[in-house]
Amino acid sequence: MTDSTAWIHAVRISWGQFLLAQLLFLGLLTQPVSASITLRQANGESLTLPAPSKRIITLAPNLAELVFAAGAGDRLQAVVEYSDYPAQASQIPRVGNAFRIDLERVIELKPDLVIGWKSGNPQTALQKLTQLGLTVWQIEITRPEEIANAVENIARAAGTQALGTETANHLRKRLGVLKRQNAGKTSVDFFYQIATHPLYTINGQHIISYSLEICGGRNVFADLPTLAPQVSRESVILANPQAIIAPKMAEYPQSLKVWEDWPQLQAVNDRALLYLPADEISRAAPRLLDSIELACKLLDKIRGNNNQQVNIP
């Protein structure tokens, strides 16, 4: 090879290497950049995640349901007691319950996102987790409409937007159908019983009250200032609701039976002592819509009662 030929060959190699370097550089520029994810905290502040979460811990049973609904159930590293839906949730390790959180165990699991329930978890525990350097996202759902939003936001946090958006849109559509089907119906006054001894109910700002409102239900204690106030039996008798409703729990299968001692109550006279599945009506999760649908059917039976006694399951 002559000197000139060798020089030309070297130039070709150098030029080829330069082109390759340029292509690699341009290729890097066109690679998708991992964008941060901004979430809204329940207190209105913003939380930024550098990337989709892969290791999630939830601190309330409804939050575990929401994560599964968002298509991110495989990201759950731990949940709390009573996180039993869907069935897979029962197999996930526990880190205490919604009120007593095992902070050491949470830290050991090294989650990149802890989802807490603003009104359901002790703020001291959530603040402690934040102080220990964990990313804590506090969620609050006060109306049925917000369930779809929560599913969508959790899907964003976990990088499962396609499935989360599909589920959220289905929930919105279903809730819209329930609202249209029950719009304009005659209202039914109800008393919702949380516990018997002492007697607790809900006010009009509770998500259960908003849910039953979709069916035309009118909470007789809607104006009370406390979200879950204690009331007297006499006040219920004075309010004389058309229906008395309670969550159906295995340990208290006949919690409304105590009202049968007051036959002067319209709800008792009409046998409108109604039970709704406890987990479905009590958890701000997609299954709440199942309870709303059932409640609407039961209240329709009361409207068609015409003062004749009927058996309502």
Q: What is the pLDDT of residues 270-307, one digit of tens each?
A: 999 999 999 999 999 999 999 999 999 999 999 986 43
Domains and CATH numbers, the chain: 37-169 (3.40.50.1980), 185-303 (3.40.50.1980)
**Which residue has 């006054």 as its token pair?**
189
Report the alpha-carbon distance of residue 265 to residue 271 in Å, rounded.
Answer: 10
What is this structure's pTM? 0.85
Nearest to residue 85, comparing CAs of 250, 253, 283, 275? 283
pLDDT score of 306: 44
In single-letter form, the type of residue at position 303 comes to: R
Q: What's the CA angle centered on 277, arms 295 and 235, to 5 degrees?
A: 65
Report the alpha-carbon distance of residue 108 to residue 30 in Å, rounded.
Answer: 38
Report the alpha-carbon distance of residue 288 to residue 169 in Å, rounded.
Answer: 16
In single-letter form, the type of residue at position 277 comes to: P
Please answer whether residues 153 and 208 qualify as being in contact, where contact means their C-beta atoms are separated by less than 8 angstroms: no
Report residue 8 as tokens: 């030309």
- Name every residue whose Cβ is closer than 8 Å to that of residue 120 and which is 6 or more positions away in sequence: 59, 60, 98
Res 10 pLDDT > 60:
no
pLDDT, tens digit, 9 for 90 and up, residues 136-185? 999 999 999 999 999 999 999 999 999 999 999 999 999 999 999 999 99
Counting residues of the chain whose pLDDT is more than 70, the rounded percentage is 86
Please answer whether residues 311 and 274 qualify as being in contact, where contact means their C-beta atoms are separated by less than 8 angstroms: no
Query: Could you tell me whether strands 217-219 and 136-139 are parallel, antiparallel, or unpaired per DSSP bridges?
Result: unpaired
Please answer whether residues 191 and 221 qualify as being in contact, where contact means their C-beta atoms are separated by less than 8 angstroms: yes
Report the alpha-carbon distance of residue 204 to residue 52 in Å, rounded.
Answer: 37
pLDDT, tens digit, 9 for 90 and up, residues 236-257? 999 999 999 999 987 777 899 9
Report the alpha-carbon distance of residue 65 to residue 72 in Å, rounded.
Answer: 10
Report residue 304 as tokens: 């068609």
Report the alpha-carbon distance of residue 105 to residue 103 in Å, rounded.
Answer: 5
pLDDT score of 19: 41
Query: Could you tell me whether strands 188-192 and 243-248 are parallel, antiparallel, or unpaired per DSSP bridges?
Result: parallel
Report the alpha-carbon distance of residue 142 to residue 42 in Å, rounded.
Answer: 11
pLDDT score of 34: 54
